[in-house]
Amino acid sequence: MRSNIDYNKKVLEHFENPRNMGEMKNPDAEATVGNPRCGDVLKIMLKIRDDKIKDIKFQTMGCVAAIATSSMATKIVKGKTINEAKKITNVDVAKALGELPPIKIHCSNLAADALRKAIENWKKFD
């Protein structure tokens, strides 16, 4: 039984008020990463117009860090071009949140991975 993970204010703020959370009707692209066995699953949905991310939504089952990084990643890339968005890494997301507890750094991979995968999926159907 674990507890005691010190999250900073920004992480907690994104956890409590996640941006761009929810479902999207008819997304242009989507991707799901993680798996239910591990307890972390993240789904990203995109609306793309003129090579730009016009809208983005996420759904996450995961820990506080997973939810906060989902929120931050979507906030960062909304309005960006596909090429800009593709370059976003988990480090960028973690940095934007200030700092993540060391054992929670792996959680920030989920959002960056899902985003990249969603963009790849979009290209396939393009």
Partner 1 sequence: MKIYLDNAATTKVYPEVAKKVQELFVDKYGNASSLHSIGTEVRKKIDEARGKIARFIGAEISEIIFTSGGTESNNLALRGLAKANPDKKHIITSVIEHPSILETCKDLEKSGYKIDYIGVNSEGIIDVGEIEKLISENTLVVSIMHVNNEIGTIQPVEKIGKVCKKAEVYFHTDAVQGFKKIDLDIKDINLFSVSGHKIHAPKGIGFLYIKKGTNISAIITGGGQENKLRSGTENVPGIVGLATALDVDNKNNEIKKSRDKIIEGLLKIHGTKINGSMNNRIYHNINVSFYGIEGESLMLMLDKDGICVSTGSACASAKLKESYVLKAIGVEDLYIHGSLRLTLGDDVVGNEDYVINKIKKNVEKLREISPFKFEKIARK
Strand arrangement of the beta sheet that strand 52-61 belongs to? 29-35, 40-49, 52-61
User: Rule CB under 6 A: which of 7-66 touch ligand FES?
Assistant: 40, 62-63, 65-66
2 interacts with partner 1 by CB under 8 A: yes
**Lookup: tokens for 125:** 């159907």
Q: What are phi and psi of 115, to 5 degrees?
A: -65, -50
Output the smallest distance, CB 100 to partner 1, in A: 13
Whole-angstrom distance, CA of residue 73 vs CA of residue 60:
12
77 interacts with ligand FES by CB under 6 A: no
Output the smallest distance, CB 110 to ligand FES, in A: 6
Given 27, 56, 62, 119, the residue binding partner 1 (CB under 8 A): 62
Residues 6+ apart with CB under 8 A from 59: 21, 22, 23, 42, 43
Is 107 designated active site?
A: yes
Is 63 designated active site?
A: no
| Number of residues near ligand FES (by CB under 6 A) | 7
Q: SS3 for 88?
A: coil
8 interacts with partner 1 by CB under 8 A: no
Output the smallest distance, CB 77 to ligand FES, in A: 20
